Structure 1
Amino acid sequence: MRLPGASQSMWRDFQIESFPSLEEGLKTEMTVIGAGITGITTAYLLVNQGYDVVLLDAGQIISGATGYTTAKISAQHGLVYDDLIETIGEEKAKLYYEANRSALNMIDDIRKKHEIDCDFSYQDAFVYGESEQSKKKIEKEAEAYEKLGIDGGLSDDVDLPFKISSAIKMKDQAQFHPVKYLAALVGYLKEKNVRIYENTRAVDIKKGQKPEVIAENDHSLTSDHVVIASHFPFKDFEGVYFARLHVERSYSLAVKTDTKIPEGMYLNADQPKRSIRNAVDPSGEKVLLVGGESHTSGQIEDTLACYENLRAFADEHFGVTEIPHRWSAQDMTTLDKVPYIGPITEKNPNIHVATGFTKWGMTLGTVAAQVLSDLISEKENPYAELFKPSRFNAKSDVKNFTVENADVAKEFVKGKIDRRTKEIDELEHDEGAVVKVNGKRAGCFKNSAGKTTLVDTTCTHMGCELNWNNGEKSWDCPCHGSRFNTDGKVIEGPATKPLEKLS
Structure 2
Amino acid sequence: MTRLPGTYESYWMETAEGPRHPGLTDRLEVDVAVVGGGIAGICTAWELVRAGRSVALLEADRVAAGVTGYTTAKLSAQHGLIYAQLRKSFGAVGARQYGRSQQEAVEYVERVAAELGIDCDLERLPGYVYAESTEAVDQLKAEADAAREAGLAASFVTDTGLPYPVAGAVRVEGQAQFHPRKYLLALVADLVGRGGKVYERTRVVSLDEGEPCRLTTEAGAEIVARDVVVATHYPVFDRALLFSRLEPHRELVVAATVPADRDPGGMYITQEQNTRSVRTAPYGENQRLLIVTGEKFKPGVGEVGERYERLAAWTEERFPFARITHRWAAQDNTTTDQVPYVGRFHPGARHVYVATGFGGWGMSNGVISGQLLTARITGEELPWTSLYDPRRLHPRETSSLLKVQGSVLKHFVGDRLRASHVDSVEDIAPGSGAVVRVGGRRCAVYRDESGTAHAVSARCTHLGCLVHFNDAERAWECPCHGSRFDTDGSVIQGPAVRPLEPRPLPGEAGACD
TM-score band by shorter chain is over 0.9
Cα 1:320–1:3 change in 2 (3 A) is farther
- The residue aligned with 2:442 is 441
The corresponding residue for 1:357 is 358
C-alpha displacement of 1:199: 0.9
CA deviation map 1:292-324 (0-9, x unaligned) = 111122222x11112111111111111155322
Report the Cα distance in structure 1 between the residues aligned to 2:11 and 2:179, rounded to whole angstroms.
9
Which aligned pairs between 1:225-240 and structure 2 lie closer than 5 A? 225-237=227-239, 239-240=240-241
The corresponding residue for 1:402 is 402
CA shift for structure 1 position 261: 2.5
CA drift at 1:361: 0.3
Cα deviation for residue 149 of structure 1 reads 3.2
Q: Name the CA shift for 1:363/1:357 in 2 (closer, same or farther; >3 Å).
A: same
The answer on whether the counterparts of 2:99 and 2:147 sit within 8 Å (CA) in structure 1 is: no
* Distance in 1 between residues matched to 2:286 and 2:243, nearest whole Å: 41
Q: Helix, strand or coil: the match of 2:232?
A: coil
- The amino acid of 2:42's aligned partner reads I
Q: Which amino acid aligns with 1:177?
A: H
- In structure 2, distance between residues paired with 1:459 and 1:2: 29
1:143 correspondence with 2:145: yes
Aligned: 1:388 with 2:389: yes
Structure 1 residue 269: Cα displacement: 3.6
Where does residue 472 of structure 1 map in the other structure? 473
Paired residues for 1:411-450 under 5 Å: 411-419=411-419, 420-450=421-451
Aligned residue identity for 1:338 = V
Q: Distance in 2 between matches of 1:282 and 1:438?
A: 57
Aligned position for 1:100: 102
Q: 1:16 aligns with which of 3, 10, 18?
A: 18
Distance 2:423 2:171 in 1: 50
Structure 1 residues 64-103: aligned runs within 5 Å: 64-103=66-105
- Number of the residue aligned with 1:249: 250
Counterpart CA distance in 1 for 2:330 and 2:189 is 25
State the partner residue of 1:451: 452
- Deviations 1:137-180, CA, capped at 9 Å, x for gaps: 10111221333232121123400111211111000100000011
| Separation in structure 1 between the aligned mates of residue 341 and residue 427 of structure 2, nearest angstrom | 45
Identify the match of residue 59 of structure 1 among 58, 61, 80. 61
Match of 2:272 among 267, 270, 275: 270
3-state SS of the aligned residue for 1:271? helix
**1:175-324 alignment runs, 5 A limit:** 175-237=177-239, 239-257=240-258, 260-281=262-283, 285-300=287-302, 302-319=303-320, 322-324=323-325
SS in 2 for 1:160: coil
Gaps of 5+ in 2: 505-513
User: Contact (CA 8 Å) 2:4, 2:305: kept in 1 or not?
Assistant: no
Structure 1: distance between partners of 2:488 and 2:89: 43
Q: How far 1:435 moved relative to its partner?
A: 2.2
SS of 1:95's partner is helix
Quote the Cα distance in structure 2 between the aligned partners of 1:40 and 1:469. Answer: 29
The number of residue pairs the alignment matches comes to: 500
Superposition map of 1:154-165 within 5 A: 154-165=156-167
Which SS does the other structure have where 2:274 is aligned? coil
Match of 2:134 among 116, 132, 135: 132
In the alignment, residue 102 of structure 1 is paired with which amino acid? E
Rounded Cα–Cα distance in structure 1 between residues aligned with 2:304 and 2:285: 28
* CA–CA separation in structure 2 for the residues paired with 1:416 and 1:2: 32
What is the aligned-residue RMSD (CA, Å)?
1.6
SS in 2 for 1:405: helix
Which residue number in structure 2 is paired with residue 41 of structure 1?
43
Cα 1:433–1:485, aligned 2, differ >3 Å: closer, same or farther?
same
Deviation at 1:236, TM superposition (A): 2.4
Candidates 16, 30, 33, aligned match of 1:31: 33
Contact 1:10–1:282 under 8 Å retained in 2: no
Query: For residues 100-130 of structure 1, what are the alpha-carbon distances to aligned partners after superposition, in whole Å with 9 as ceiling and x for unaligned?
Result: 0111111111110011111100010001111
Q: Using the alignment, how far apart are the partners of 1:458 and 1:44 within structure 2?
A: 37
What code does the residue aligned with 1:413 have? V
Structure 2 CA distance for aligned equivalents of residues 320 and 356 of structure 1 = 36
Deviations 1:212-245 (A, max 9, x none): 01111121100010000100111122x2101010
Are the counterparts in 2 of residues 304 and 471 from structure 1 also a CA contact under 8 Å?
yes
Q: Distance in 1 between matches of 2:286 and 2:22?
A: 31
CA distance in 2, matches of 1:224, 1:37: 22
More displaced stretch, 431-440 vs 134-143: 431-440
Tell me if structure 1 keeps the 8 A contact 2:6–2:325: no
Q: How do 1:312-351 and structure 2 match up within 5 A?
A: 312-319=313-320, 322-351=323-352
Looking at structure 1, the residues matched to 402 and 253 of structure 2 have their Cα atoms a distance apart, in angstroms, of: 31
Q: Any idea what SS the aligned residue of 1:61 has? A: coil
C-alpha distance in 1 between matches for 2:287 and 2:59: 32
Letter in 2 for 1:370: Q
Task: Please tell me whether the aligned partners of residues 35 and 61 of structure 1 are also in contact (alpha carbons under 8 angstroms).
Answer: yes
Partner Cα distance (2:194, 2:53) in 1: 10
Q: Distance in 1 between matches of 2:237 and 2:72?
A: 28
Given the superposition, is the C-alpha separation of residues 370 and 282 from structure 1 closer, same or farther in structure 2, using an over 3 Å criterion? farther
1:198-223 CA-to-partner distances (Å, cap 9, x unmatched) read 11111110011111011111211000
Distance 2:470 2:285 in 1: 30
- The Cα of 1:273 is off from its aligned counterpart by 0.6
Aligned sequence identity (%): 36
- Residue 21 and residue 146 in structure 1: after superposition, are their counterparts in 2 closer, same or farther (change >3 A)? closer
CA gap of 1:190–1:64, structure 2 versus 1, over 3 A, is same
Tell me the CA shift for residue 438 of structure 1: 3.1
Cα displacement (A) at 1:53:
0.5
Unaligned runs of 5+ in 1: none
Match of residue 508 from structure 2? none
CA distance in 1, matches of 2:91, 2:486: 43
- Equivalent position amino acid for 1:17 in 2: P
Letter in 2 for 1:11: W
CA contact under 8 A between 1:211 and 1:225: conserved in structure 2? yes
The superposition leaves residues 239-258 of structure 1 with CA deviations (integer Å, 9 ceiling, x where unpaired) of 21010101111111111245
Residue identity in the other structure for 2:109: I
Deviation at 1:376, TM superposition (A): 0.3
Q: Which amino acid aligns with 2:110?
A: D
Give the structure-2-normalised TM-score.
0.94
